[in-house]
């Protein structure tokens, strides 16, 4: 805890990395291919969409990709998504998180938002 980062993060297994998409609407199936390498296979992707939960934030093709891989999506505001990701990891669940920044600009991709990372 306490580390602050700017930009989007993808968290899976024991890896947390900066991520190319600047907004949920920019996420493509190619951005999520890393999840295919995680063991055990990811069952849930928690998506933090900024200040509010934008359930329609991911493109249809991305949602279809997740569904085809058997990955459920849990969309929340970023603070709630980070918390949920941590709780599910502590429970030993196969979970990943796509976290987008909050703050001023979060509705346009969070380009100016900064938040604490989710590794707890």
- pLDDT of the residue at 103: 63
pLDDT computed for residue 15 by the predictor: 86
Q: Which DSSP symbol is given to 58?
A: S
Q: What is the pLDDT of residue 88?
A: 96
Q: How many Å apart are CA 50 and CA 47, to the nearest integer?
A: 9
Taking alpha carbons only, the member of 40, 45, 56 closest to residue 92 is 40
| CB 48 within 8 Å of CB 26 | no
pLDDT of residue 4: 64
Closest among 113, 27, 117 to 81, alpha carbons compared: 117
| Beta pairing class for 44-48 and 95-99 | parallel
pLDDT of residue 11: 95
The full length of the chain comes to: 120
pLDDT one digit per residue (tens) for the chain, 120 residues: 556 667 899 999 888 888 899 999 999 999 999 999 999 999 999 999 999 888 888 999 999 999 999 999 999 999 999 999 999 999 999 999 999 998 644 444 444 343 444 434
Tens of pLDDT, residue by residue over 44-64, are 999 999 998 888 889 999 999
Residue 41's alpha-carbon distances to 2, 45, 47, 86, in angstroms, are 29, 11, 17, 17
């Amino acid at each position: 805890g306490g580390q602050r980062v700017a930009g989007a993060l993808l968290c899976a297994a024991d890896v947390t990395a900066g991520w190319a998409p600047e907004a949920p609407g920019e996420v493509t199936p190619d951005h999520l291919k890393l999840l295919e390498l995680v063991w055990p296979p990811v069952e849930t992707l928690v998506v933090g969409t900024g200040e509010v939960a934008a359930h329609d934030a991911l493109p249809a093709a991305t949602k279809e990709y997740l569904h085809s891989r058997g990955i459920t999506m849990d969309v929340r505001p970023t603070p709630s998504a980070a918390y949920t990701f941590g709780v599910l990891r502590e429970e030993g669940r196969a979970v990943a998180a796509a976290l987008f920044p909050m703050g001023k600009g979060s509705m346009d991709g969070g380009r100016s938002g900064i938040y604490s990372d989710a590794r707890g």
